[in-house]
Amino acid sequence: MRQFDSGQLAQLDASFRRNLINSLPGYKPLQLIGTQNASGVPNLALFSQIIHLGAAPPLIGVLFRPHTVKRDSLENILETRNFTLNQVLPEWHIQAHWTAANWEGSEFEATGLKEERKVGFPAPFVEGSPVQFACMLEEVQTLQINQTVLVIARIEQVFVAEKGLREDGTLDYDALGTVTVTGLDEYHQGQSLGRLSYAKPGIYPSKI
Amino acid sequence: MRQFDSGQLAQLDASFRRNLINSLPGYKPLQLIGTQNASGVPNLALFSQIIHLGAAPPLIGVLFRPHTVKRDSLENILETRNFTLNQVLPEWHIQAHWTAANWEGSEFEATGLKEERKVGFPAPFVEGSPVQFACMLEEVQTLQINQTVLVIARIEQVFVAEKGLREDGTLDYDALGTVTVTGLDEYHQGQSLGRLSYAKPGIYPSKI
């Protein structure tokens, strides 16, 4: 095993440390966040700092870096209070990655990803994404320790490809085929090892 | 596409909604959290509500459900201020899942996973895990919206299997072979689609 203690972590080259620390969580949720500003200019950005916050009410958290420079997605969310989350397919994950470039205009136009508009929700979705959901801003918390901004949002509408929805509400990711990320720039597909029964003392979990 | 609007989400069977909402983020970070109480009794629990908070200083967040019933991991962290995170291998992911049962004593003894002790850090690691890191509690925030508890911790020590550490600090998850989770009970392995170059306007990202 290679070891890094706190002193070594502090003295690492900044790029090496950024890569290492971003890689430690392992596979992370990957979503394109669709927003638009009050004038209707759309924005699309790829995020992995996403966390399930609760199912009742249905809540999701997205962490943004410190709000010290222009951050279109965050500003649009604060302005309009709504955004969409859209999972990514392998066929267009390179375009999804490309949304991270410092584009002047709409990332949809720039990267070739297509806007999808749905009745009853102002922010744009990504056409062809098999897992899309629309969110309304509930609360914003700035973490004092590093000034990152935690957006807490309520899940208002969910769209899931039929082939990926099981009878019990779980999603079949082998069928959906969406992409996950490690670190800052590596993308992966998944392969299921199966589901396990509810954990109980004394009964070894079985495949379900 | 199958659609659920906010009214339908609210009226879903609780188990269906829990499965669906927990499945929406996609692949999630999966870590065994090792703690011990002030008397030295160890505890091990599987978590996926984990989020990268920043690289300088190196910070990680773990979300705990409302602190209204006994939650050993959270109580141990509040008491001792330290814990470990350990990624899971396919060979023992069923034991990792089993830690979630309502055990009376140590989950290490109950499930057969082995404690690993390291000099300079009181909390137990999981033997054989190829990505382990030790954390010190920095801050606790209760989210007012649903009373979940966000533990913000500083990464103090990192241990990574040599075969998985690249020269630039990124981790090679095809080499490490650790497991990710979707929903509450489905485990997956990953397969890399490759890394992509830093995103710039006008230059289509290339494999690196």
Name the residue in chain A with its Cα closest to that of B106: A201
Q: What is the pLDDT of residues A1-57, one digit of tens each?
A: 999 999 999 999 999 999 999 999 999 999 999 999 999 999 999 999 999 999 999
- Of the candidates A9, A158, A197, the beta carbon closest to that of B24 is on A158
Q: What pLDDT score was predicted for residue A67?
A: 73
Q: Per the CB < 8 Å rule, is B208 touching A185? A: yes
Question: Chain A to chain B, count of Cβ pairs less than 8 Å apart?
Answer: 365
Task: Quote the longest CA-to-CA distance of chain B.
Answer: 60
pLDDT of res. A69: 66
**How far A39 CA lies from chain B's nearest CA (Å)?**
23
In degrees and rounded to multiples of 5, residue A26 shows phi and psi of 90, -150
Interface ipTM above 0.95: yes
Of A12, A180, A199, the CB nearest to B97: A199
CA distance B39 to chain A (A): 23
Residue A135: per-residue pLDDT? 98
**Cα-flanking dihedrals φ and ψ of residue A5, to 5°?**
-90, 180
The pLDDT tens digits for A49-89 are 999 999 999 999 999 998 776 779 999 999 999 999 999 99
Residue B71 vs residues A51, A61, A119: alpha-carbon distances, Å: 20, 22, 43
CA distances from B48 to A68, A140, B28, B179 (A): 30, 22, 6, 11
B40 Cα to chain A: minimum distance (Å): 22
Least Cα distance to B33 among B19, B17, B49 occurs for B49
Pairwise CA distance, residues A138 & A113, whole Å: 28
Statement: residue B160 has pLDDT above 70:
yes
Q: From the CB of residue A13, how many other CB atoms can be counted at a distance below 10 Å?
A: 10
Per-residue model confidence as pLDDT tens digits over B71-126: 799 999 999 999 999 999 999 999 999 999 999 889 999 999 999 999 989 999 99
What tokens appear for B47 in the block? 């978590």
Predicted confidence (pLDDT) at residue B70 exceeds the cutoff of 80: no
Contact at CB, A143 and B53, closer than 8 angstroms: yes
Q: How confident is the model at residue A124 (pLDDT cuts 50, 70, 90)?
A: very high
Which positions in chain B touch A23 (Cβ < 8 Å)?
Answer: 169-171
Q: What is the pLDDT of residue B69?
A: 66
Facing residue for A50 by CB, picked from B25, B85, B159: B25
For B89, the closest chain A residue by CA position comes to A193
Q: From chain B, pick out residues whose CB is under 8 angstroms from the CB of A166.
A: 19
Q: Which of A55, A58, A157 sits opposite B3 (nearest CB)?
A: A157
Q: Binning pLDDT at 50, 70 and 90, where does residue B67 land?
A: confident
